[in-house]
Structure 1
Amino acid sequence: MSTTIPGPVLQEADWHRLLLLRATRPDVVARAYAERRRPGRLLSERGTMFLLAADHPARGALTVGGDALAMSDRRSLLARIVAALEHPDVDGVLGTPDVVEELLLLGALDGKVVIGSMNRGGLDGATWTMDDRFTAYDAAQLAACRLDGGKMLLRMDDRDPATATTIESCAQAVSELAQQGLMAMVEPLPYQRREDGSLVLCKNTRDLARAVTVASGLGTTSAYTWLKLPACDEPEVVFGATTLPCVVLGGVPGPDPEQDLRSWGRSLTHPAVRGLVVGRALLYPADGDVKASVDAAARVLRAVQPSARV
């Protein structure tokens, strides 16, 4: 079953070539990693970073809008990412090994920043979701694959003991990435569990600022640490809680795409904020026009005053 959300299509020849390589030539994956042309920098010439997030499926988070299986359609997902990567302002992608390797085999990652996603074990909706195990890339493999950094999700719930295990694991990953000289992109998100067992993201200023301070102190050094945070109402307080470079995450698409853009724009004005990392909100627009969706976000990022970049 394909997604009900319209979007670009991966050509038959490209899709069947990818399937054939997967079945008959596993050796070409290592070669694709080795031959990828790296960008030689994390930030663009404008001093910003614009990445596509594509690590949701590995955590079982597949829903977009009313389509519960939207991101399970791999051919559709890859077509959307490839189309978005063609925009000149898109610097790269954040993904798990399966997605990164498929994009490599499609020839879509030359000259692009590639951040490998590390912990996907806290499955969406699982009772153990806060015990977010590291199940994808590790620091040594990120270095061996010549990727540009590693990303980890750090969801925090003060009433869930599993949070402590995730904090400890993230601290170790930050240290190991620093030893490899690789960016550690930490996504600290405060959560609260409702009486019905569901989790709600706490986007108030106090909880977000507290999460920033916890994430900033992880590991044996913060020299290579970046933070990935949601847009917020008081960016001067939340992003003012750290000197570390930050990026704004897109999160779950809201009912009004224009409102999402305005929200990102407010946070992008803070001098600690260097860019955007957005997934579903850009890859699955209601009208199916991925390139227009990406272009709208790129214009918001371009509008950030150059004086804020040092």
Structure 2
Amino acid sequence: MITEAFTERLAALTEIRAARPESVAEAAARRVRRGSPLGPNGRLMIVAADHPARGSLGAGDRPLAMADRWDLLERLCLALSRPGVDGVLGTPDVIEDLLLLGVLDEKVVLGSMNRGGLAGSAFEIDDRFTAYDARAIAEQGLDGGKMLLRIDEADPATVSTLESCARAVSELAAGRLMAMVEPFVSHRVDGRVRNVLTPEAVTRAIAIASGLGTTSAYTWLKVPVVDDMERVMAASTLPALLLGGEVPDDPDAALAGWARALRLPTVKGLIVGRSLLYPPDDDVAGAVDAAVEVLG
């Protein structure tokens, strides 16, 4: 997928980082921001690329798909160039590469905050804030921050993640920046943390996440599509984006599920990563366009 011209641009990234690291801050200062996160249709379409920093590199049947940074960046640039795509979610390394490539003007840029709960680790629930913090998000002119909240009642580390997320929500709100919370009820099964995707579990997670921080004025939710979404989404009045999750075996069924959930009043759009960046047929543009069409 990588063209010669794009290879030259990517190769320049390392040279710029090595010789002129201040270029990152300069690119952030130059970035043209948009006035409102919502698009003209009142929807929001975000491409997610914060998986690698948590050690989650697989996509579908490709266990190391996201390990190739050049390939990932090309896919991201292609996705961001498609009509109807409003922005991106990523960790500092990814966002800064995109800033240096000059593709984030007029885009909503969300910084991923807690990546310390490495996928498959014994400390996965103890999801510490190891990437962006609220101060850096404000200083670099980003539009908000996203945090993962896994709630395991059997794991005492849950309470520290709850406290850290609450603090981040408050600090982002103080700067009038979006606080995107992705909550799950989770359990450890056979040594791995698994999210519980029943309507009851997702409803409980939404209720807990909605109450984090000193104000919910700038809080958004990132939620999975599960059964009985009308009842699930009734748990909060906060705006929500639907997450894409793993690459689906049946992309058409995934699109249909998004379409049904998007009819609900609190669902404002999509935040999808691997499903669009690594579709089964490798047609990134086609997968992105199909998701945008679902938004209406």
* TM-score using structure 2 length: 0.97
State whether structure 2 residue 273 is matched by structure 1 residue 252.
Answer: no
Name the count of aligned residue pairs: 295
Q: Aligned partners of 1:235 and 1:37: how far apart in 2? A: 36
Offset at 1:229?
A: 0.3
Instruction: State yes or no: 1:102 paired with 2:97.
Output: yes
Superimposed CA distance per residue, residues 205-252 of structure 1 (whole angstroms, 9 cap, x where no aligned partner): 111101010000000111110000001211111111100000000011
* Residue 223 (structure 1) aligned with residue 217 (structure 2): yes
The CA distance in 2 between the partners of 1:231 and 1:269, in whole Å, is: 12
* Alignment partners' CA distance in 1, 2:75 and 2:54: 19
Contact 1:8 1:290 in 2 (8 A): no
Q: Which amino acid aligns with 1:188?
A: P
Residue aligning to 2:270: 276
> In the alignment, which residue of structure 1 is the partner of 2:77?
82
Structure 2 residue identity aligned to 1:227: L
For the 8 Å contact 1:56–1:62, the answer to whether it is kept is yes
Measured in 1, the distance between the counterparts of 2:151 and 2:34 equals 34
- Give, in angstroms, the shift of residue 200 of structure 1: 2.2
Task: Say which of 265, 280, 286 aligns to 2:280.
Answer: 286
Q: What residue is the counterpart of 1:201 in the other structure?
A: 195
Extract structure 1 runs of 4+ deviating beyond 6 A. Answer: none
Deviations 1:125-182 (A, max 9, x none): 0000000000111111111111100100001111111111101110010011111111
Contact between 2:241 and 2:268, CA under 8 Å: does it hold in 1?
yes
Alpha-carbon distance in 2 for matches of 1:30, 1:137: 14
Q: 1:166 aligns with which of 118, 142, 161?
A: 161
CA distance in 2, matches of 1:148, 1:12: 29
Identity %: 55
CA distance in 1, matches of 2:17, 2:207: 43
Task: State the match for 2:117 in structure 1.
Answer: 122
- State the secondary structure of the residue aligned to 2:127: coil
Which residue is equivalent to 1:18? 13
**Residue 54 of structure 1: CA displacement?**
0.6
Matches within 5 A, 1:136-175: 136-175=131-170
Cα displacement (A) at 1:85? 0.4
Q: Does the residue aligned with 1:150 lie in a helix, a strand or coil?
A: strand
Output the CA distance in 2 between the equivalents of 1:15 and 1:164.
41
Is the partner of 2:57 in helix, strand or coil? coil
Aligned partner of 2:25 in structure 1 is: 30
Q: Is 1:264 the counterpart of 2:258 in the alignment? A: yes
Q: 1:43 aligns with which of 38, 43, 48?
A: 38
1:234 to 2:233 alignment: no
Counterpart secondary structure, 2:280: coil
1:126 aligns to what SS in structure 2?
coil
Residues 8 and 80 in structure 1, CA contact (< 8 A), matched pair in contact too: no
CA contact (8 A) 2:247 2:280 kept: no
Measured in 2, the distance between the counterparts of 1:254 and 1:141 equals 34
SS of structure 2 residue aligned to 1:14: helix
RMSD: 1.1
Q: Which runs of 5+ in 1 are unaligned?
A: 1-6, 303-310
